[in-house]
Amino acid sequence: MLGTYLYQFLGGKIGVMELLIILVIALIFFGPSKLGDLGKGLGDAIKNFKGAMKEGEQGSSGQTSQPSQQPTDKK
């Protein structure tokens, strides 16, 4: 919602200065530790999303009759 508002307010043109201002406001609002946690959570979410997309592509390419031979021993 805030992103949509900023996009409309800035006319669809968000430059480096605007991004820096948003980052400074977020740093003041959340603090450095919370901002790091938010970044880590966002990175994990993107990683999981990409993994799910990759699994979906493998499943839809006709390889559904054979089970995948990926190692299951992950630590």
Could you tell me the two tokens for 2? 């805030």
Phi, psi of 12 (to 5 degrees): 85, 5
What does pTM read for this prediction?
A: 0.45
Q: What is the pLDDT of residues 18-75, one digit of tens each?
A: 888 988 888 888 888 888 888 898 899 999 999 999 888 887 765 545 555 666 665 5
- Asked whether the predicted pLDDT for residue 14 surpasses 90, the reply is no
C-alpha to C-alpha distance for 19 and 16, rounded to whole angstroms: 5
Residue 23, pLDDT score: 85
